[in-house]
Amino acid sequence: MSRDFPNDMRDFIERLDRAVPPHTKTVLDDGEADPLVDVARRLAQGPDVQLSAAAASRIEARLRQQTAALYRPARFPPRLSWSQPLRFVAAALVIILLAGVVLTSASANSLPGDRLYPAKRAAEDVRLALAPDASEANLLVDFAGRRIDEFLRLMLERGEFYPQALEEASDELNQALDLLAGGHGDRVTLEPRINTLTQRQAQSVELAAPLVAAQKQQELQEIADENKVIQRRLTIGGWVPLFVADAAVIPIRVSAPNPREK
Amino acid sequence: MSETPDDILIQRAQQGDEDAVASLYRRYVPAITRYIGYRISDGSAVEDLTAEVFFQMVKGLPRFRVTGAPFEAWLYRIAGARVADYYRRAAREQSVENTLDETFQPSPELSVQQREELDALRAALSQLSDEHQTILILRFVERKSHDEVAQILNKNTRAVATAQHRALKKLAELLGTSKKGRHYIRGKSS
């Protein structure tokens, strides 16, 4: 009992403890006149309330049933032995997928020569391989745009001349046109985009021409010639022209090969 | 032969040992029944609520952690909540007042005088707060020390003693306990 209690409180509790000692059922001291002690004694001497033996047994039986039901082993058959490795493989795939997503986003701005650039290209290859025929042309146009951007960034930000990027852009635009000519993809949407990209490509060549050495000019010229072929193809519905520079262009129809079959 | 400690029984019960569950039930069912029986007059409800407390115990045992607090503290908390639920439900149905004295069937061995005394005590107790009722029942009906009551209620001893003093004072007023005799607030007298 705390010593901080006021004296009257301590006295009262001591009188109660004398009248109603804890853990005892002994005869209570009847000499107190304090009404509080009296009411405490009435409570202590109050009638006992208990369940009947039948009710107590009934509850106990239900408790046993409940316990048995709660802890009974599950009724479904044990897991098959191959489920564990399957879960492991699934977990590994999820990890690889997540790692791929992280790597792809990290490599999005990489340029040729960067450590993450191969990851960027690998991701593009995967997307291309998984894309349905109708979306393939669209992806190729997207990737061609990236190649032109990469060429410009390398030249303007790092002072590097990397004509392969423009060559690859031409290849991708040609593949996209092949698919469109074969009826795969949305011509109405893609042809204007291809047109815009060929113009950007031509501007890039013009921009690079005064900056590169004479021996590189030939490469630029080849890119410019290919650019004209693509522009010409746009005007004749994806057909491949025999000659571009001359007025007498005789278009021939190609059987739009599927890039996947290469 | 000494009783198996609560901790051991709890551990066994948590592993699905029906005998351990039954032992815990038999150990605490008298006190829990008294606690509910001093707060609710409907005999069938006392049985139902007592059963509910122990069903809840079985359901909650897997998550129960031995922290040093007495096991019965948990049971009293469940019982207190069940009693509160009972009165909330009864208040909605507005039927409890009409059935207080008519339906109560306590232990058949109680005499008429004992039943009247129980009715009077219960009626007076019901005018107190839940915490005051619990303190008085634990302290005087269950004969627990101040420290034990404090431990069960997770309060300090001084707070319990102070609350007990107030509760007794109020109960004495309600019961009209004095040297001149007693009168009961529900119109019954011995």
Q: Which helix (H) or strand (E) holds A111?
A: none
CB-closest option in A21, A50, A66 to B55: A66
Q: Which residues contact B18 (CB under 8 A, 6 or more apart)?
A: A63, A64, A67, A68
- C-alpha span between A233 and A190 (Å, rounded): 13
Q: Which helix (H) or strand (E) holds B95?
A: none
- C-alpha span between A155 and A159 (Å, rounded): 4
Whether A43 sits inside 8 A of B51 (CB atoms) is no
Question: How high is the pLDDT of residue B109?
Answer: 66
Query: Chain B contact for A103, CB < 8 A?
Result: no
Residue A251: helix, strand or coil by DSSP? strand
Looking at the complex, report in whole angstroms how far the Cα of residue B66 sits from the nearest Cα belonging to chain A: 19
- pLDDT band, very low/low/confident/very high, at A76 (cuts 50, 70, 90): low
Asked if A147 contacts A220 with a C-beta cutoff of 8 angstroms, the reply is no
Query: Chain B contact for A52, CB < 8 A?
Result: yes
Model confidence pLDDT, tens digit, residues A105-139: 878 888 998 888 988 898 888 888 888 888 889 99
Asked if B70 contacts B152 with a C-beta cutoff of 8 angstroms, the reply is yes
Query: Chain A contact for B155, CB < 8 A?
Result: no
**What average pLDDT does this structure show over B100-109?**
50
Query: Sign of the C-alpha dihedral, residues B104, B106, B112, B113?
Result: negative
Q: Average pLDDT of chain A?
A: 79
Which is nearest to B168 in space by CA: B142, B135, B144? B135
Q: Which residues of B touch A44 (CB under 8 A)?
A: 140-141, 143
- C-alpha span between B179 and B72 (Å, rounded): 37
Give chain B's end-to-end CA distance (angstroms, integer).
43
Q: Is the pLDDT of residue B103 over 50?
A: no
Model confidence pLDDT, tens digit, residues A17-52: 766 665 554 444 555 467 888 888 888 888 888 898
Taking CA atoms, A79 is separated from A74, A82, A88, B113, B147, in Å, by 11, 8, 14, 65, 52
Query: Chain B contact for A46, CB < 8 A?
Result: yes
Query: Chain B contact for A35, CB < 8 A?
Result: yes
Query: Chain A contact for B114, CB < 8 A?
Result: yes
Which is nearest to A43 in space by CA: B167, B8, B5? B167
Whether B34 sits inside 8 A of A12 (CB atoms) is no
Q: Which residues of A touch B108 (CB under 8 A)?
A: 52
Whether A22 sits inside 8 A of B145 (CB atoms) is yes
CB-closest option in B13, B107, B179 to A49: B107
Query: Side-chain half-sphere of B58: how many Cα atoms within 13 Å?
Result: 27
Lowest mean pLDDT among A7-21, A213-227, B2-16: A7-21
Q: Is the pLDDT of residue B71 over 90?
A: yes
Q: Which residues of A touch B25 (CB under 8 A)?
A: 59-60, 63
Q: ipTM for the complex?
A: 0.81
Query: Sign of the C-alpha dihedral, residues A173, A178, A183, A188?
Result: positive
- C-alpha span between A208 and A185 (Å, rounded): 32
Q: What's the length of chain B? A: 190
* Whether the model pTM is above 0.90: no
Q: Is the pLDDT of residue A250 over 50?
A: no
**What average pLDDT does this structure show over B139-159?**
91
Token pair listed for A33: 């006149």
Q: Which residues contact A5 (CB under 8 A, 6 or more apart)?
A: A13, B158, B161
- C-alpha span between A7 and A15 (Å, rounded): 12
Q: Which residues of A touch B143 (CB under 8 A)?
A: 20-25, 44
Model confidence pLDDT, tens digit, residues A167-198: 999 999 988 888 888 888 888 888 899 999 99
Question: How high is the pLDDT of residue A138?
Answer: 92
Query: Residue A242, class by beta-carbon neighbours within 10 Å (0-12 exposed, 13-18 middle, 19+ buried)?
Result: exposed
Query: Chain B contact for A75, CB < 8 A?
Result: no
Disruptive mutation site among B10, B177, B185 for chain A (greatest number of A CBs within 10 Å): B177
Whether B58 sits inside 8 A of A24 (CB atoms) is no
Q: Is the pLDDT of residue B180 over 50?
A: no
**What average pLDDT does this structure show over B102-112?**
58
